[in-house]
Amino acid sequence: MIGDLGAEDATELAQWVARGDVTPTELLDAALAATAKRNPAINAVVLIQEETARRTIANGLPRGPFRGVPFLLKDLGAEATDFPSNNGSRLFANTTYDRNSAIFDRMAATGVVTFGRTTSPEGGIGAATESAVYSGPTRNPWNLDHTSGGSSGGAGAAVAAGIVAFAHGSDGGGSVRIPASSCGLFGFKSTRARLPDGPYAGEGWAGMAIDGFLTRSVRDTATMLDACAGPDLGAPYVAPPLTRSHADAITRPPRRLRVMLCDTTFTGTPIHAEVQAAVLNAAKLLEDLGHHVTPGLPKADVPMMMQAWTDIVGIGTALSVRSALKGRDPETLVEGVSRGAMAYAETLHPTRYLQAVGEIHDFGRQMAHAFHDTQTDIILSATLAEPPALVGRFAHTTTDYPAYRMGPDGIFPYSPFCAVFNASGQPAASLPLGQSSTGLPIGIHLAAPFGMDETLIALCAELERAAPWAARRAAMAS
pLDDT in tens, 157-216: 999 999 999 999 999 999 999 999 999 999 999 999 999 999 999 999 999 999 999 999
Whether 151 is catalytic: yes
pLDDT tens string, the chain, 478 residues long: the values are 667 777 899 999 999 999 999 999 999 999 999 999 999 999 999 999 999 999 999 999 999 999 999 999 999 999 999 999 999 999 999 999 999 999 999 999 999 999 999 999 999 998 999 999 999 999 999 999 999 999 999 999 999 999 999 999 999 999 999 999 999 999 999 999 999 999 999 999 999 999 999 999 999 999 999 999 999 999 999 999 999 999 999 999 999 999 999 999 999 999 999 999 999 999 999 999 999 999 999 999 999 999 999 999 999 999 999 999 998 999 999 999 999 999 999 999 999 999 999 999 999 999 999 999 999 999 999 999 999 999 999 999 999 999 999 999 999 999 999 999 999 999 999 999 999 999 999 999 999 999 999 999 999 999 999 999 999 999 998 7
Backbone angle region of 135, left / alpha / beta, with phi > 0 → left and psi within -120 to 50 → alpha: left
d(Cα 190, Cα 213) in Å, to the nearest integer?
10
Q: What type of residue sits at position 48? A: I
Q: Which domains are seen in the chain, by residue range?
A: 2-302+355-477 (3.90.1300.10)
Beta bridge partners of 445: 381, 430
Active-site choice (74, 120, 148, 152): 74
Q: Are 185 and 159 in contact (CB under 8 A)?
A: yes
User: Listing from the earlier edge strand, what are the strands of the sheet with 210-215?
Assistant: 166-171, 210-215, 186-189, 428-435, 441-447, 378-382, 258-261, 292-295
Active-site choice (89, 151, 338, 381): 151
* DSSP H helices in 116-168: 153-160
Active-site choice (89, 120, 152, 175): 175
Whether 74 is catalytic: yes
